Amino acid sequence: GDYTGAYRPRVHYTPPKGFMNDPNGLFLDPNGTWHLYYQYNPTDVVAGNQHWGHATSPDLYRWTNQPIALFPPNATSGVFSGSAVLDPNNTSGFFPNQTDGVVAMYTLNTPTAQVQEIAYSTDGGYTFTPYEGNPVIDIGSTQFRDPKVVRYQDHWVMVIAFASEWVIGVYTSPNLIDWTHASNISHIGLLGVQYECPNLVQVPVTGSGSTKESEGWVLTISINPGAPLGGSITEYFAGEFNGTHFEPYDGAARLSNFAKDDYAGQFFYDQPVSIGWASNWQYTNEVPTANEGWRSAMTLPRKNYLNNTGLGGYELVQEIYDLSPILGNNTIPQTNLVNSTASTTLPNVSALYFDANITIPANSTFNSNAVFNFTFATGTGGESVKGGYRFAGTPANTIWLDRGNTNGFDSPFLTDKFSASQVNRATRIQGVVDRSLIEVYVDGGAVVGTMVVFPTEPLVQFDFESRNLPEGPEISFAAWELVDTWA
Ligand code: FRU
């Protein structure tokens, strides 16, 4: 692939050419290599003609593009989203002589039905053979897709969307071939127009209100269209799972992102690590990156856990996965950014990572103009992306982003402004500015904003400031260039 285009992110994954959507089949192999498959149209820069593209990485940032892993059997069908598992105990029977067998389960989309198929890999996930007895599940539906498989004690568990019925089905299997419908999770959270890409996985639990358990279950559901901010978004539910039935702890729908460009996220098999698709079905087929021969990026990889806040129940915390392998030049050395400014210019348009660690003594009182703000601007032409945090006032404890002052793409759906408010004041604000993709993570990922941006010229000037803070709080601030993972 040609990764020189000005919109091409430097540290977020993008396909070599063509169109990408959902992450699929994520797993970590026994040698420590991460495998990312993805919905892929290799022949055009719009969705369609779905294959599974494939890339591998030692650290989730530096990716090597691999040959396409799954091909549709004919021109009218597509290999839709799904997942992959390791089968070291050969429960499937495909792997009599090895412990590193991989089974992928995906939806085959045809004009008349969406059926579930499996394919197995004896070479560690590089090439797959479709199972001769496919499909393994066919209920005669055209709206039945996106199987995600996990291991639960002595059996396999798969969740799947009955997309237009707003139902997530739970299936069980001893061998990944014979599947039994076990239960339904029906009409929970925000419905939108369809449910897609469910995940039901175990992640660590932390937090003041947490009891003795150290792992908890989280169900994610992606909805499209009809998200609160338009188009597509992902919601999540913490709850109990007993191997066949899931029960959410409360009836609340919580979104996994406060902006619009984070959809169809998937967890790696047996790892609390996830990646989302950093786009929105409302405009993904129109964004101007097509001029560079590609469309869509993945989010940063994230390490997840459930935080029992003791206040509003469990929140899913999506921490930025260890960035140290790609941390470059410390372009803004550590400084106390209280009521002061810090700036850097990156003329070679690298990605920038910033980290603001905020210490707020008890009894601090903030006036309504107390803010931490950032501006990322083009060299000329006056375009910019802005954002910041309000410590008080109305709305208080609020992170915001604004992509309105960019002129590279015109769509009624590319809305400008996003915000999220928290119960407690932020203690940390991190961000990655990566050409056409910007992400902010508040309080280690309790609140995440992911936003595509299309200025007509690269963002090269990065300014940070805080104003009107009282005596007492400190903001330990620093910024780094990230290494160009495609150089
Ligand atoms: C979600 C989705 C899935 C489907 C895939 C097709 O973005 O619509 O439901 O499997 O994309 O590419």
- pLDDT tens-digit series, residues 115-157: 999 999 999 999 999 999 999 999 999 999 999 999 999 999 9
Please work out whether the CB of residue 39 comes within 6 Å of at least one atom of ligand 1.
Answer: yes
Cα 48 to averaged position of ligand 1 atoms, centre (Å): 10
**What pLDDT does residue 211 have?**
54
- Is residue 350 over pLDDT 90? no
* Range 76-81 average pLDDT: 98
Average pLDDT value for residue range 160-185: 98
Extract long-range pairs of 44-49: CB within 8 Å, 24+ residues apart: 44/18, 44/19, 45/18, 45/19, 45/289, 45/290, 45/293, 45/294, 45/295, 46/19, 46/285, 46/295, 47/19, 47/21, 47/284, 47/285, 48/19, 48/78, 49/78
With a 6 Å cutoff on the Cβ, whether 145 touches ligand 1 is: yes
ipTM: 0.98
Specify whether the CB–CB gap between 247 and 240 falls below 8 A.
yes
- What does pTM read for this prediction? 0.97
Separation between Cα atoms, residue 432 and residue 351, nearest integer Å: 7
Ligand 1: centre distance to CA 393 (Å): 41
Helical residues (DSSP H) of 196-272, grouped into ranges: none
Residues 292-319: pLDDT tens digits?
A: 999 999 999 999 999 988 777 899 999 9
Task: Report the pLDDT value the prediction gives residue 309, as an integer from 0 to 100.
Answer: 85
Of residues 138, 148, 186, the one with CA closest to residue 264: 148
| pLDDT per position as a tens digit, 391-418 | 998 899 999 999 999 999 999 999 999 9
Instruction: State in Å: Cα 22 to ligand 1 middle.
Output: 7
Q: What percent of the chain has pLDDT over 90?
A: 94
Instruction: Decide: 21 in ligand 1 pocket, CB within 6 A.
Output: yes
Which positions are catalytic?
Answer: 22, 196
What average pLDDT is seen over the chain? 96
Q: Is the CB of 400 under 6 A from ligand 1?
A: no
68-77 long-range contacts (CB < 8 A, ≥24 apart) are: 68/40, 68/42, 69/25, 69/37, 69/104, 69/125, 69/126, 69/127, 69/128, 70/37, 70/104, 70/106, 70/119, 70/128, 72/108, 73/108, 73/130, 76/110, 76/111, 77/108, 77/109, 77/110
Q: Does position 212 have pLDDT exceeding 70, yes or no?
A: no
Ligand 1 atom nearest the C-alpha of 163 is: 9
pLDDT score at 213 = 58
pLDDT of residue 369: 96
With a 6 A CB cut-off, is 233 part of the ligand 1 pocket?
no
Give pLDDT, residue 61: 98
Cα of 264 from ligand 1 centre, angstroms: 8
Of 355, 353, 297, which is closest to residue 325 (Cα–Cα)?
353
Residue pLDDT, tens place only, 418-470: 999 998 999 999 999 999 999 999 999 999 999 999 999 999 999 999 999 99
Q: Is the CB of 264 under 6 A from ligand 1?
A: yes
Distance 269 CA to ligand 1 centre (A): 19
Count CB neighbours of 64 within 10 A: 10
Supply the residue whose CA is at minimum distance from atom 9 of ligand 1: 196
- If 0-12 CB within 10 Å is exposed, 13-18 middle and 19+ buried, where does residue 242 land? exposed
Hey, which of 24, 46, 52, 80 would you mutate to test ligand 1's pocket, going by the most ligand atoms within 8 Å of its Cβ? Answer: 80
The gap between the terminal CA atoms of the chain, to the nearest Å, is 12
Atom of ligand 1 nearest to the CA of 109: 10
pLDDT tops 70 at residue 208: no
Q: Does the Cβ of 50 fall within 6 Å of ligand 1?
A: yes
- Residue 39: the pLDDT is 99
pLDDT at residue 129 in the model: 98
296 lines ligand 1 (CB under 6 A): no
Distances (CA, A) of 94 to 79, 98, 128, 358, 432: 21, 9, 11, 53, 42
Centre of ligand 1 from the C-alpha of residue 285, in Å: 14
